[in-house]
Amino acid sequence: MENEIMETSTSNPSSRAERALNAALTLLGEQGVRALSHARVDQTAGLPAGSTSNYFRTKQALLEGVASHLAQREREDFGQAAPILERAEAEEAFTRMLETQSGIFRSRTLARYALFIDLAHSPELVAPLKDNRRVFEHWTTATLAALGAKDPLGCTRFIMATLDGALLHRITVDDSLDFAPVIRRALAACLDS
């Protein structure tokens, strides 16, 4: 299990809020949106009863908070890089990203999927995650253009769908899926045509 709960002082209000958000992220990744409640977050975070509701009065406020928190964590972990100029380096970067998302950040990936799927009717709740995705799409388009793709935007849509499918497949169906050949074939489809 990915340990998303930070060991911080319980006397600091911002630390308590962050502990609650980390616990909510863990619950989402392990049990989905339906399992998320203020009481469960308090219990998972090791906070006094009622702590989470002091910061996030409603379930919607808690979901908004955890979506923003997840987006921030992802920005911190993956940052913004310059486009890649070498094909082999791009293959490695995409493969490493999928390995990380399905490995050390597996619980977080499941939390993101839970938010996207269960909150499809509330686009405002997942807006911070979609903003992160747009940043990644722009980087992918710039990388594909630098690698010589004739249709970088169309290839980005194809690559993103391939990455999403491979990641979901690894997490839900085949935990031994080798990402490297998938990435290699996807890039070949975009760059060798």
Residue-wise pLDDT tens for the chain (193 aa)? Answer: 333 333 333 345 568 999 999 999 999 999 998 889 999 999 999 999 999 999 999 998 999 999 999 999 988 887 778 899 999 999 999 999 999 999 999 999 999 999 988 888 888 888 999 999 999 999 999 999 999 999 999 999 999 999 999 999 999 999 999 999 999 999 999 999 7
Q: How far is CA 43 from CA 5, 19, 55, in A?
A: 11, 11, 15
How far is C-alpha 99 from the geometric centre of its chain's CA atoms?
13
Q: Which residues contact 111 (CB under 8 A, 6 or more apart)?
A: 25, 26, 28, 29, 66, 70
The pTM for the full model equals: 0.83
By C-alpha distance, which of 18, 17, 19, 37 is closest to 27?
37
Dihedral (CA of 119, 123, 124, 127) sign:
positive
Going through 103-167 in order, the beta strands assigned E by DSSP cover none
**Which two structure tokens, joined as six digits, stand for 11?**
């006397």
Rounded distance between C-alpha atoms, residue 119 and residue 117, angstroms: 6
